[in-house]
Amino acid sequence: MKYLFSVIILLSFSYCLSYAQSEEPPIDRWDTWLILGNKFVLGGKENFRHSHELQWRVNDNMRQLKEWFYEGVFTYSPNSKWEFVPDFRASVKPERYDFRFGLGTVHKSNFYSSESKLSSQFVKQFKYQLDIDSRGNVRQGIRLVLTYNYIVSEHILIGGLIGPFYRWSDSFTGIEFIRGGGVFTYVFDPSHTLSFAPLFGAGNIKPNGWSYSFTPMFSLIIRINKDYKYVPAKYINF
């Protein structure tokens, strides 16, 4: 009888353990996104220009709408090296609305060939942002993104970017994510370009460690004005 009682206790313990494990499924450490964007750029003949973008993002291995948003960016270029870029983003998510106010600086280094033609560009973006959602939550963050672009020909540009994002809020403080990858751009004409950026990311899901993602991004850019006083900084404002 005592052996039967021991077996019953052992089976009961195994059942409880398996039930507890089923209640806490393992964290999914990998996801595949898709980002589609359409941006319009206006101005530029003087020191000012502005852009307006609609973007759609899906995640959960491209099966679920993560968000879609409008983003407006105002750019002031006092000279050929610096840009000051306040921006605003309004996001629609399945469970809430998000509003992001950003204020950033962009420093660009332009490099020229022996024929005095622009050959490449190195861009450093530093931005502070304030996020407010429809539930009243307020979060803050700082990002630093480094971007390099190389002009292969009149129609082809290649490059890459990398950047961490630091978040602080009531629920989370620390490096929230890091994103980077290559950027390939095809220039149809001075007004139309199509960029493809196969980006990889690492997100901090405290206290469970890090998760990883592949985020292919396609962006069609339409420039209403083709002439600029200064060469614009080319970077992705993710």
Q: Each residue of 9-62: pLDDT tens digit?
A: 444 434 444 444 444 455 668 999 999 999 999 988 789 999 999 999 999 999
Q: Domain of residue 139: give its range.
A: 27-223
Token pair 């292969």 in the structure block, residue: 152
Q: What is the pLDDT of residue 27?
A: 60
Average pLDDT over residues 158-163: 97
- Give the pair of three-digit tokens for residue 70: 């409008």
Residue 80, phi then psi, degrees to nearest 5: -80, -10
Average confidence (pLDDT) over 130-157: 96
Structural domains of the chain, count? 1
105 inside domain = yes
User: Could you tell me what percent of the chain has a pLDDT over 70?
Assistant: 88
In a domain, 168, yes or no: yes
In this prediction, residues 158-172 reach a mean pLDDT of 94
Average pLDDT over all residues of the chain: 89
Dihedral angle over CA of 168, 169, 172, 176, nearest 10: -40
For residue 62, the model assigns a pLDDT of 94
Whether 14 maps to a domain, the answer reads no
φ and ψ at residue 84, rounded to 5 degrees = -110, 125
pLDDT at 228 over 70: yes
Residue 16, classified by CB atoms within 10 Å of its CB into exposed (0-12), middle (13-18) or buried (19+), is exposed
Domain for residue 189, yes or no? yes
Residue-level pLDDT at 225:
80
pLDDT given for residue 42 in this prediction: 93
Q: What is the CATH number of the domain that holds 118?
A: 2.40.160
Quick check: is 48 in a domain?
Answer: yes
Closest CA to 194 of 155, 233, 225, 151: 155
pLDDT at 208 over 80: no
What is the distance between the alpha carbons of residues 225 and 235, in angstroms, rounded to a whole number? 18
- What pLDDT, on a 0 to 100 scale, did the predictor assign at position 114? 85
**pLDDT tens figures, 84-129:** 999 999 999 999 999 999 999 999 999 999 888 999 999 999 999 9
Helix H or strand E encompassing 235 = none
User: Quick check: is 50 in a domain?
Assistant: yes
Residue 238 lies in a domain: no
16 located within any domain: no
pLDDT for 20 equals: 41
